[in-house]
Each structure stands twice: as C-alpha cells, then as structure tokens.
Structure 1
Amino acid sequence: MLVVGLPPAPAVAAVRNAEDLLIVDCLLPGQIRKLGRQATYLSARRPVRTTQADCEIRGGEYVSYDRANYQTALKVWLEGAMSGSAEAQNNVGEIYAKGLGTAPDYGMAFQWFRKAADQGYGRAKINLGFLYEQGLGVPQDQAAALNLYREASGIEDELMYASVVQVQIRAKDEQITGLQEQVQAGEAESAALREQVRKLQQELAQRRGALQQTQRELAETQRRLADARASADDDLTRLLENQLVAQEEEINAQRTQLAALERQAGAGGAMLAGGAPMLEILDPVFVATRGRNTAVYRGGPGKRKIVGRVSAPQLVREITINGQAAPLTANGGFSAEVEVPAGGAQVQVAAVDQQGGRAQLDFTLLPQAPAASSAAASTAAAQAGALPRDVKLGRFHAVVIGNNSYRDAGYPTLQSAANDANAVADLLRKRYGYQATVLLNASRLEILTALNEMRETLKPEDNLLIYYAGHGEIGADGQGYWVPSDGVQGNPKSWISNAAVSDILDTLASRHVLVVADSCYSGTMTRASVPTFAAGTMAPEKWAGWVKAMAAGRSRTALTSGGVQPVPDTGSGRHSYFARAFMNVLQDNDRLLEGQRLFQEVATSLALGSMDAPLAQMPEYAPIRYAGHESGEFFFLPKGGGAATGP
C-alpha cells in the first residue's frame, strides 16, 4: 500500500501567543492512500492530543478547552471509543469526568473507564479506582479501589498504600444507643454550623472588600511615590515611602486574616458535609505485614521520636501517644518520644475531636536489625536503597520557576521564590546531575514555551521535574492556577490553570514526571493510589522487583506545599519553609529516593520545622488527575549513588 500526499511535519509549529501552546483534542485529516493501480481513497481522520499551533499547521480540526464543551471534545474521540480503542475509551471517560462545559457525569465516566480497564488499560484502572474510592458514579468501595490500584501497579506482594496509615476520627458508639437523640442533636448542630459558616462567609466577603480597597490605595501610593521621585521632592518621597510600607504591612495582615477565615469556613463546610479530621503518622515509615501494623526505623534500641499530623487541628481536642498527651501545634503537627527495646515497642496513637469522636492507630515500632551474614549484607545493600543493576533511570531534566515580581500591583512582591528556584536548580545540578532550566519572574508565554520545549525534546526514558514557586489562585470554579509575572488579578485567562499543566504533562513522552509546587495545585487524585515499598524491610529481590516495576511504569505525580490553602512566603532564612525542607531532604539523601519517601520526609521536616509558621502547612503527594498517570514512581539518585545491587 502506498501513502501519498502527506506533507512533512515541521520540526516546530509556529507560535503566535501563549494560547498556541495549550493542548487541544485535535482531529487530523485522513491520509490519501492508493491501493493497487486504480483505487485511491481517504483514510479515516485520526485523533491526537497536541498543541493548538501543531494542530493548525497539520491541518487539523480542534476546539480549545477554554472554549470547548464536552460535545466538541467527544467528537474527536467517540468514534475510536466505539471501535474498541482502550485509549479512546479512557479519554471519553475523562471528558465525562471533567464535565467540560457542564457538570461531570460520573455514571457515563464509569462505563467508559470500565470498558478500557477490561482491556487492561492501566490509566483507566487508576481512574476507575478513584471513582470507587470516592464513591463517584458508583457505590463507594475501598476494597475495589485498592484492587484496581494494585492491578495498575503490576505488583501484588509486599505492596502497601499510603491510606493504610490514615484513620478517620469517628465516634465509636454512634450506632449503639440513642440514634434518634443523636439525629436531633445533629440537626441542631448543623443549623448552628450553617449559621456560623454564613457569618464567616459574610466576614470573609467584607475582608476581601477591605483588602481590595487597601490594594487600590497601595497602587495609588506607588503612583504618587513614582511622581515624587521624578520631581525629586525628598520630603514627600519619604512620606510616601512610609505610607507604602504601612500599606504593605496592612495588606499582609489582611491576607493572613483572610487565610484564617478561609480555613474556619472550610472547616465548617467539612463538618456540614460529614467530613472528619484525619490522623496520619509521618515518621517512622510503616511497612506491609500480614499481621499487626509495623513501623521500622534505622537504628538501635533506645528513644525514638514519633511524628504525625492531623487535618483540621482546630477540631481536635487531644492527641495521646501511649496514654501521654502529645502537644498539638496550630499546623496540626505533633511528636513524642517512645522508649524502644531491642524486641520492639507497642505504640498506640489516639486522637479525640471536640465532639468526643476518637481515632486510634496501634502499631509495633521495631529497630532495624544489624547485618550479621553475607545474606544480611546483601539485604543491607538493598536497605541502603541502591539502584538494582538491571534498572536504568535515564536522564533527568528540570524546569524550575521562581516568580518574585508581578506587574499587577495587586500581587505583592515575594521575597523567597527566586531564591528558592535558584537554590533548587543548583542542588539538582550538582548533587543529582540534572539539566535544569531556570525561569525567574517568567511570563505566561515564557512558562508555557519552556514546558512545550520539554514536550518536543524529551524521550520516554527521560525524567522531568517541574518546580514552581510563586503566587497561586483558586478560581470561582474551584480550579487551581499558577500566576505568571504578567498575570492580572481577577482574570483567570491571564493565569496558567492546573488543567492546562495536566494536559501538557499528558502529552509528554517522558515516562516519569514530578510537579513540585510551592503554591496550590488542586489537580491531584489520592495518595492511596501510590504504591509504597519500604527499602530495608524486604528481601533484596523484592526491592529490586519493585524498583524495576516502578521505573517501567508511567507516572505523573505532584508534591505540593499545602493543598489549596495559602502558604508562607518566607520563614526559613532566605527560603520558604517548604523549599528549605525539600532541599534539606535532597541534600541529606545518599541513596535511591522515591517520591513517596521524599514526601514523608518533607512532611516530617515541615511538621517539626514550621511550628511557628503564620499559616498551617500540610504538604500533599498524589498522582495528578487526567495527566496520564498509570503506575510507577519518580526517583532521585545522587551522583555516585547508583552502585548496582541485585539478588
């Protein structure tokens, strides 16, 4: 068969503006094909996901996501889905789950994810597991969710998920007696909470109005200051500079008050929705066993610190460890020391909320046994986290963004973002051998251009880390955004949405991508879908098999500094609390480090190091929704740390 009439694809598509670099569902024209000497025909059109500019130059048909609804997106993929393509079926499911231009239809999403999952498509299994875990479109079924996550990971033995060490605080006797009284009391409490949330929301609106007024006054003062400097009026200049400092301090105070009110309103909403605080142990790390929960640490018998955190700490009355009260910080962190004998110690961590609900986590804390034989020495090598000899991680690249200065006066100048970006890039280059691109005070076009260059140049064996430090926004629709240096307050079209970043990540050839955001990133799923393996507690062949499977899988994960709440700009010298914790972990690491353990160590460091932070900070780590995550993990390997080991 001869294919004719196909113009050569250009190396780089023409780019006129930032929108040209956004990812679209593109329907390419069919190929002109000739069969024998007589028959010439046009093949069916082919769907792809590519940039708007690339789709245009290849003569494709598209509707960009900013203007699309689910019908136009479905038009691209539905024919392939009906024909049985697992990729197309999963894409149709994601279109329904996203709810482009309309409310999400999780029932339809479930049907299409199921079709693709039945064909063994790993990405669809992850998506389907998320629906089961959250009860979206189907009855909630945690067991079914974990089974799907396990299938997608490709590993069944010695596999543990992060949700194992999270327990929800609930009243243990709520179904035993007095159900009717509890219902009536709950209704009264709900009414009181609704009124409290209403008042908080009113106060929040008033505070926002005051903040906007102060920002307008600040802009006017800046203008007058510029005029005074131009006219060389020293007295007026000093007066205006003092006013400027006072207004900036007032804005910072108002932002802190706003954040506190948002947390209070969010906590009230969570209670109305039936939510509850979550208790989690950060350090030491739990390992999978067939009996009691077990946590193992490197070291001998003696005192060992236990570090944990709770969500919504304002709703928690008390934390105890083995019956002794553990101080709870405003950020939700707590810690206490436990005496651990050679045979291990039994530990009970309990949390009680303001209504008397209780969560309890029991586990065995074990010191790591010393090596005593050649077999133990081999195990010790695996415990050190060395890279198995038959695993190749490929090259490592990074795009590091630090935005301090913003053109819009409504965004205050940050103090640490550029410092964080430079320091992170320097550490990645020198200690881990990364090829790092640094963008300081970057515009929307500059950020999207840098990400598109990665899309066009990276190979499947490459790894990409994207680090962003700067202002973040949450839109009226709940969508998270990064604010570029030319971003305009109140104009989401001038920002970069998490959805746009996720779409770019989806089209990258790189097998492993990690987004580290010292700002909000709300496009993640749940950490329960990330498989973990504690190096040092299993046989070397198990560790090697796990690393090999995770290196072969396609991963798209995000490590964020604080969910969707505001995070402090400074606090640890020239760096933010999060950046300092992130860099300390990478600097101290001397072995193969997976993303899940990076998160645990950063979260532990933050829980201990940011107790005096003005805002609560609870980092998150999870796969990114709709970015192409299937399984696998992101790894860090310091230079000289790749000594091969094997069974």
Structure 2
Amino acid sequence: MLAIVAGWPAAPAQAAVRNAEDLLIVDCLLPGQIRRLGRQATFLSARRPVRTTQADCEIRGGEYVSYDRANYQTALKVWLEGAMSGDAEAQNNVGEIYSKGLGTAPDYGMAFQWFKKAADQGYGRAKINLGYLYEQGLGVERDQAAALNLYREASGIEDELMYASVVQVEIKARDQKISGLEQQVQAGEAESAALREQVRQLQQELAQRRSALAAAQRQLSDTQAKLAQARQQQDDDLTRLLENQLLAQEEQINSQRTQLASLEQRAGASAGGAYAAVPMLEILDPVFVATRGRNTAVYRGGPGKRQVVGRVTSPERVGAITVNGQPAPLNASGGFSAEVDVPAGGAQVQVAATDKAGGRAELAFTLLPQAAASPGAGASPAGDGKLPRGVSLGRYYAVVIGNNSYRDPAYPTLTSAANDANAVAAMLRERYGYDASLVLNGGRLEILTALNEMREKLKPEDNLLVYYAGHGEIDARGQGYWVPSDGAANAEKTWISNAAISDILNTIPARHVLVVADSCYSGTMTRASVPTFDAGSMAPGQWDGWVKAMADGRSRTALTSGGVQPVPDTGSGRHSYFARAFLNVLQDNNRLLEGQRLFREVSTALALGAIDAPVPQVPQYSPIRYAGHESGEFFFLPKGAGSRSGP
C-alpha cells in the first residue's frame, strides 16, 4: 500500500502578492512528496516542475528562477530531467527555452531537436513550434510544406475539410536596364562585385563549418557506439557519463547547425542584393481555397457584381493597381478595391501592381459564386452560422483594458483608448453575454492582477478574450510591450512584455483565449502562420466537423491592429480605426463567427475605411508564440443565435 504522508498543497487558496513581479510566471520546481511504503519504509518522491506565478511557487515551497533571469541554464534545470526521461511536455518546454534564448542568443538547432522529440510523441504544441521553425528556416532548412503539414496535424484537421490560404506575390524589378541611367548601372555592378565577394567569403566559412560539423558527427557516432556497449555491459556509471557526453555533443552539433543556418540565410540575403525586401500584393476578400489547378476564390452568393478587396505592403513604393486592366484607387494604408461582374460560371480576375521603379506583380484567379461551386443546393447552406448539435462553447469572460492617461509625460495622453475599452466591454456584455472586467488607466500591478484572477477563476471549458488599447513599445531585440499607466519611458521593467503575457496565457486553463491588441508594435505578439479555413466555402457536412474540431482544440490566438510599427490613436469619431472596425463587425454579426473571419472582415474594413489614417495599418492574426497554442479557434456567438434545432 502506498500512502502520501506529506507534500505540497495541491492548490493554495491565495498566494501572497507583494508587487507586480509576484504575478509573473516562473519555471517552478516543487518539492517532492514524503511517501510511505507499507508500515516501515518512507521515501521522498521526485520534484515536480510546473509553470506558475512567483507568489504561488513561493507559498508552495518551490524553487524558481526570477523572471529577469540572465541564463537559460537555470530554467533548463527545472525541465531537463523530465525531458531526458521522455516526457513530451518537458521536451517541448526545453525546446521553447532554447528557442527564446533567455539571456543568450536563441539556439534553434537544439530547439528543433527537442520539439521534434515531443512532436514525434504526438504533442500538439510541439508540432506548432516545430512547424514555425520549418516555416522560418530556423535551425533547419526552410520547408513550407513540412510547416503546413505540422500545423494541420496539430489542428486535427481532416483532409476533406476545405483549406484556404492567403495568396501573396512579390512586386519585383524586371530588369536593371529599366533605370536607363549608366551611372546607376555602374554603381549596381560595383555593388554586385562587393556582394559576390561577400558571398564567396560566406561560402568559404560555410565549408569550414560543414567540415567541423562532419567531424562532430563522427565523434557523436563513436560516443553512441560506446554508450550502446556500456548499456549491454550494464555499467551504470559509464552509461551516465556517456549519456552526458552524448547530450553535450548533440548540443555542440545543433549549435553548429544553427550557425550554418544563419550563415546560409546571410549568404542568401547577400545574393539577393537590393531586392531582398520587396512590396507584396495580397487579396483580402474573397478568400482563396485550395485547388489542384488554378487559384480559385469562392464567395457565398449568386452571380452579379462582387467586390474584390486587397492591399499592398509599402504603398508609398507602389505606383498603380489595376483589376482586369482598370485602375483601382490605392489609399494611404495600401488598401484597394474594385467591382467585378461575375457570371454563373465564374469570372477570370487579374490584379496587377506596379511599383515606382518599374517592378510588377500579377495575381490571376477565378472568382466563383458559391451556387456554382455547390450544385446540390437544396440542403442547408455551407457554414449556416448555427452552432452544431452536440457542441458546447462554454462560458465567456473578458478582461478589457483601456489606458488614456500616463504618469510619465513622455507618453502623450490618448483620446480614444478608454472610449474603445468601454465600448468593447459593453458590446461583449450586452450582445454576446460575456462576464467582462473593465480596467481603465490601469497600472502594471492592476493589469497583471486582472489577468491572474482569470488564471485562478477560469475552468478548462471556458473562453477568455483580452482586449488592450493603449501605448506600446518595442526594444532593440524586437520584443514588444504594453505600457501600463505607471510605465516609465526607457524603463522596460516598468512595462509588460508580450513574453510575460504569453506565459500568463499559457497557464490559464481556459480552452480558447483571444488577445485583441490595439497598440503600437502589437504585431510583435504574433509570429507564426497557420492554415486559414474558409467556413463559407465548406460543404454542409464539413461545417459541423470543422466547428467541432476547432471547439475541442486548445487555442491561443491574437488579433492585432498592426504589425511591427506604430498605429494611429483616433480617426473614426470617438474610436480608433481598428476599434471602430472591430466593433462594427461584432455589431453586424448575427451568427457563429470564427476568429479568422473576424480578422478578414476587420482587415477588409480597414483597407476600405482607413483612407485618411496617418500611417498604414495592416492587422495581423495568428497563434501567440509560447502561449500553449495547440489547435482550435475562438468563436463569437451572439445572444439568441443559439444552436441548430432539429433531431
């Protein structure tokens, strides 16, 4: 008989909070339990790693590393033992520690190895993280197909469910002779010669690195052979020594792989020359769906006039946009639109963009009415907006933050953030039935307290929306921050980092969490891509399966008002451009609304409506890195919309 005599408290009622740092998430190593075997023997069980608040870890007698730790090795100490023993969650956490860097440069090679170990065991979060490395080419050769497959596996999406993707094309310069200026050609030739020399040096360094990697791999093979022999001889001390050597050699090899990937990326960028960063052309509405042939965009509705909405990055560099040969007005934010006459059999559409240097991009697709795509039109329409029978979305909560006033005069007073927050909280309560907490002009402790209350209050079946409107900052490393009302300029420790928000969201038990951030640099919160599913183009039976799959999955996603750049404060009456678009979409919606469609409608509204915005505004929507996203989607269901009736 095995009985627990003493151990850590399972869930303390209230952890003592002295300051804001007590509410930040730490890697905590809880003490072991004292257990009794029979009547005679007692022993101490292994310590258990968890992620919890600093205050909670203290009250439970745990060991932790403070949030501003300077060395990732201290965080590894908490999780490495479990990872070495094969625990998938611990392996994923070790991968995230290497990927984050934590006081040192990220080691994507080691991160890849640990994510792969966890992903091979079917761990969804690791598949998302591994897919991101493949997508970005970090620590591994870039492979978009492998990334997409991992994202799909993590989402639990079946092959028959319709998949739609954002289609982008680059606006590239056609020929250097377009300039027609001999001096520019000569300068370009000199630059090319310098770049060729740089590429040659990088290739030489690559060859040396590859040689060192091959030698390390041979040494690793020798160690593996010795380890196998030691295991056969049951020599525990030698086995442990060799296992440690093996881990060290794997770390060395993966570090070399990371350096190789960095060098290859630099060599590629150098070879790319002046055209490494080019404007992009993107269609927002309608949504493209995957086909085996030509690009196809399907929309709900019959033949007739249909609006095509798109946008370009770097609009100041774009000279003209045409749709089927007709000019389409381009606003300051890069948005454009044009009407296309669509017959029953579909229309061919060609969108072209030309930049001021003579570069050109073309995007051709077939615009197809839903009626033409679904001949058996008698049954209920695809994606009818009803909650399928047997699917429960749980309860909905919100923390809505709006900061107008700041203690530090370096941060100017905002005019719309508090208005936006009040309106969003009212919308969520009155139209969607949320239990919404409102924080106006909140300081660092107040904001973290509101989030921590959700961590302690919410259950696994619940949903949480976090809305933030206020100042944002970005540091030299590209890390984004929310600035609380008591934040000080040039003092990162007085802000709330996106990394801290991600850690908090990771520990909240709610199944679905959506962050809506309307602040400068909010796009630093979203980094990975995921497949975009077009519910409107699904066959009737597919809608039910898709909603169930998304409702069952654990999601952590963010809808942000912009990328890594400032966004305007006001512009649409008492609200920001983004808040006005967000509120309008929620107000007009009368069906089950998925987060991805919310994003598309908000993006379309901004592309059309933010013509007078002082800076271009391009919303982002994707999973939040390191916040525990596995799969799933956030849903909005207005009061009275209800579930589908019938047997």
Alignment TM class, shorter chain as reference: 0.7 to 0.9
Partner deviation per Cα, 1:608-631 (whole Å, 9 max, x = no partner): 110111111111111100000111
TM-superposed CA distance for 1:157, in Å, is 2.0
Partner deviation per Cα, 1:502-556 (whole Å, 9 max, x = no partner): 0000001011000000013244455631441322x22222111111111111111
TM-superposed CA distance for 1:348, in Å, is 1.1
CA-atom RMSD, angstroms?
2.5
Q: Please say which of residues 293-302 and 451-460 is displaced more in the overlay.
A: 293-302
Residue 305 of structure 2 corresponds to: 303
Residue 404 of structure 1 corresponds to: 404
- Mapped partners of 1:182, 1:632: distance in 2: 52
Q: Which amino acid aligns with 1:188?
A: E
Partner deviation per Cα, 1:331-350 (whole Å, 9 max, x = no partner): 11111111111221111112
Q: Which amino acid aligns with 2:60?
A: R
- Mapped partners of 1:391, 1:607: distance in 2: 34
TM-superposed CA distance for 1:298, in Å, is 3.0
Residue 329 of structure 2 corresponds to: 327
Give the secondary structure class of the aligned counterpart of 1:369.
helix
Give the secondary structure class of the aligned counterpart of 1:94.
helix
Q: Which amino acid aligns with 1:534?
A: A
Unaligned runs of 5+ in 2: 177-183, 196-271
- Mapped partners of 2:394, 2:185: distance in 1: 58
TM-superposed CA distance for 1:311, in Å, is 1.2
Give the secondary structure class of the aligned counterpart of 2:36.
strand
Q: Is the 8 A contact 2:528 2:624 kept in 1?
A: no
Residue 345 of structure 1 corresponds to: 347
Partner deviation per Cα, 1:71-101 (whole Å, 9 max, x = no partner): 0010000000000011000100110000011
Residue 287 of structure 1 corresponds to: 289
- Mapped partners of 1:411, 1:513: distance in 2: 29
TM-superposed CA distance for 1:567, in Å, is 0.9
TM-superposed CA distance for 1:186, in Å, is 7.0
Q: Is the 8 A contact 2:172 2:361 kept in 1?
A: yes
Residue 450 of structure 1 corresponds to: 450
Partner deviation per Cα, 1:370-425 (whole Å, 9 max, x = no partner): 9999x735432x43321111211111100000001111111111111111000011
TM-superposed CA distance for 1:280, in Å, is 1.2
Residue 85 of structure 2 corresponds to: 83
Q: Is the 8 A contact 2:164 2:290 kept in 1?
A: no
- Mapped partners of 1:465, 1:500: distance in 2: 17
Q: Is the 8 A contact 1:533 1:543 kept in 2?
A: no
Residue 491 of structure 2 corresponds to: 491
- Mapped partners of 1:576, 1:136: distance in 2: 36
Partner deviation per Cα, 1:134-176 (whole Å, 9 max, x = no partner): 11111111111111111111113245666442223345789xx
- Mapped partners of 1:78, 1:397: distance in 2: 35
Quickly say closer, same or farther: Cα 1:446–1:187, change in 2 above 3 A. Answer: farther
Match for 1:128 among 127, 130, 140?
Answer: 130
Q: Identity percentage over the alignment?
A: 76
Matches within 5 A, 1:457-476: 457-476=457-476
TM-superposed CA distance for 1:302, in Å, is 2.1
Q: Which amino acid aligns with 1:120?
A: G
Give the secondary structure class of the aligned counterpart of 2:377.
helix
TM-superposed CA distance for 1:320, in Å, is 1.8
Q: Which amino acid aligns with 2:157?
A: I
TM-superposed CA distance for 1:646, in Å, is 8.5
| TM-score, normalised via structure 1 length | 0.83
Q: Is the 8 A contact 1:388 1:646 kept in 2?
A: no
Residue 257 of structure 1 corresponds to: none
Q: Does 1:41 align with 2:54?
A: no
Q: Please say which of residues 156-165 and 84-93 is displaced more in the overlay.
A: 156-165
Residue 14 of structure 1 corresponds to: 16
Matches within 5 A, 1:124-163: 124-159=126-161, 163=165
Give the secondary structure class of the aligned counterpart of 2:502.
helix
Quickly say closer, same or farther: Cα 1:61–1:465, change in 2 above 3 A. Answer: same
Q: Is the 8 A contact 1:158 1:533 kept in 2?
A: no
Match for 1:101 among 100, 103, 107?
Answer: 103
Quickly say closer, same or farther: Cα 1:185–1:606, change in 2 above 3 A. Answer: same
- Mapped partners of 2:22, 2:579: distance in 1: 32
- Mapped partners of 1:36, 1:298: distance in 2: 69
Q: Is the 8 A contact 1:560 1:621 kept in 2?
A: yes
Residue 362 of structure 1 corresponds to: 364
Partner deviation per Cα, 1:21-80 (whole Å, 9 max, x = no partner): 000000001110111111111111110000000000001011122124210010000000
Residue 413 of structure 1 corresponds to: 413
Give the secondary structure class of the aligned counterpart of 2:135.
helix
Matches within 5 A, 1:564-643: 564-643=564-643
- Mapped partners of 2:365, 2:622: distance in 1: 24
TM-superposed CA distance for 1:324, in Å, is 2.0
- Mapped partners of 2:193, 2:26: distance in 1: 44
Q: Does 1:185 align with 2:188?
A: yes
- Mapped partners of 1:364, 1:421: distance in 2: 41
Q: Please say which of residues 459-468 and 303-312 is displaced more in the overlay.
A: 303-312
Q: Which amino acid aligns with 1:121?
A: Y
Give the secondary structure class of the aligned counterpart of 2:81.
helix
Residue 480 of structure 1 corresponds to: 480
Match for 2:31 among 25, 29, 32?
Answer: 29
Matches within 5 A, 1:551-562: 551-562=551-562
How many residues align structurally? 561
Q: Which amino acid aligns with 1:497?
A: S
Matches within 5 A, 1:239-278: 274-278=276-280
- Mapped partners of 1:429, 1:565: distance in 2: 31
Partner deviation per Cα, 1:559-603 (whole Å, 9 max, x = no partner): 000112111111100000000000000100111111111000000
Residue 52 of structure 2 corresponds to: 50
Residue 205 of structure 2 corresponds to: none
Q: Please say which of residues 115-124 and 162-171 is displaced more in the overlay.
A: 162-171
Match for 2:317 among 298, 306, 315?
Answer: 315
Give the secondary structure class of the aligned counterpart of 1:453.
helix
Residue 207 of structure 1 corresponds to: none
Quickly say closer, same or farther: Cα 1:46–1:190, change in 2 above 3 A. Answer: farther
Q: Is the 8 A contact 2:442 2:484 kept in 1?
A: yes
Give the secondary structure class of the aligned counterpart of 2:535.
coil
- Mapped partners of 1:28, 1:84: distance in 2: 19
Residue 167 of structure 2 corresponds to: 165
Q: Is the 8 A contact 1:126 1:152 kept in 2?
A: yes
Quickly say closer, same or farther: Cα 1:55–1:291, change in 2 above 3 A. Answer: same
Give the secondary structure class of the aligned counterpart of 1:528.
coil
Q: Is the 8 A contact 2:165 2:290 kept in 1?
A: no
Give the secondary structure class of the aligned counterpart of 1:397.
strand
| TM-score, normalised via structure 2 length | 0.83
Q: Is the 8 A contact 2:401 2:440 kept in 1?
A: yes
TM-superposed CA distance for 1:274, in Å, is 1.4
